[in-house]
Amino acid sequence: MRHVVVISTGGTIASRWQGDGYAAEAAGREVLEAGAVPEGVEVRVVDLFTVNSSRLTTDHQLRLLYAVHEALADPEVDGVVVTHGTDTLEESAFFVDLFHHDPRPVVFTGAQQPLDAPDGDAAGNLYDALLTAVSGRDIGAVIVFAGQVFAARGTVKQHTVDARAFGSPDGQPLGRVEFGRVRWARRQPRREALPLPERTGSTPRVDIVMHHSDGDSVLFDAAVAAGARGIVLVGTGAGNANPEVADAVRRAVSSGVHVAVSTRVAAGAVAPLYTGGGAVDLAAAGALLAGALKPGQARIAVLAALLAARGPAGDGPDAGTLLRGVLDPQPPARQASDLYLVDGVGH
């Protein structure tokens, strides 16, 4: 018998019609009972919270992170499944992945159809997630949706309502769930996990500001004035803005604000190609380039680095050092043995 903890957080997979729209209301056990559980799998449900994921805060994500670590403190647990709304699933999955050091998987899933939809996808996605949770090893946090298994890093919601909602614009799935088993396609080197944040203290503000034609520094400066400790600048093309914005970045960085540059383009990485306020100038102003991370996950990278830099002794790595490591597209991979193989399943 394999043991999986299902952490329920709400979302469409737990939603029902409210008369004028859908809202999350179902408990985790109700979600689980909507479909079948793989043979030989025993499930324990943790109802953490029940919200539409567009309402999530850093406090919610920290509670989820601690719940995952508490579930894995039990050596009898083989893996964790998190049911989550699709709007911010990519952010929470990446957040958990950055702090995840355990070889047992954390599998995020959700649904595009509400729980009581006759042709819904909740039951199938949850079944596949449970199967992945007992089939994978040393895969970190992953997203399982519509029969595909994606690494948390780099995976985003690509369609508002389609059943095949998630994908990796710059990569391929790690595997697929077919005919009752997980078939892995490639290996994913794992990074060193960030130190687990403290449970006390206020959470840092991290904002996202998008550049566009006619763009100026007003919103960027407003974020700094509001107390942002980190800002993700969403540039055009390969991560470009203009001289006014580059000057604002320089001022922000000099005042201790961590700035990362992402892009509004669906695929591809930011790169220092252009001056005139482009990524060349933004990097010279002190911003860090976020590689292929899209804006939501780039923000999570900044947030996680700020949280991980805390420490009672104050002698750990600073947030800037941690953020550079998170954004590094090719960091040293930590040692892992026989990825994706557990008791001969899922190879």
Q: Which residues are catalytic?
A: 12, 86
Among 154, 155, 136, smallest CA distance to 146 is for: 155
What is the CB-side half-sphere exposure of residue 82 using CA atoms within 13 A?
A: 35
Distances (CA, A) of 171 to 85, 109, 177, 308: 23, 19, 18, 27
Neighbouring residues of 42: CB distance < 8 A, sequence distance ≥ 6:
1, 2, 3, 4
Distance CA 241, CA 335 (A): 39
Residue 316 has φ and ψ, to the nearest 5°, of -85, 180
310 burial via Cβ count (<10 Å: 0-12, 13-18, 19+) = middle
3-state DSSP of 51-87: ECHHHCCHHHHHHHHHHHHHHHCCCCCCEEEEECCCC
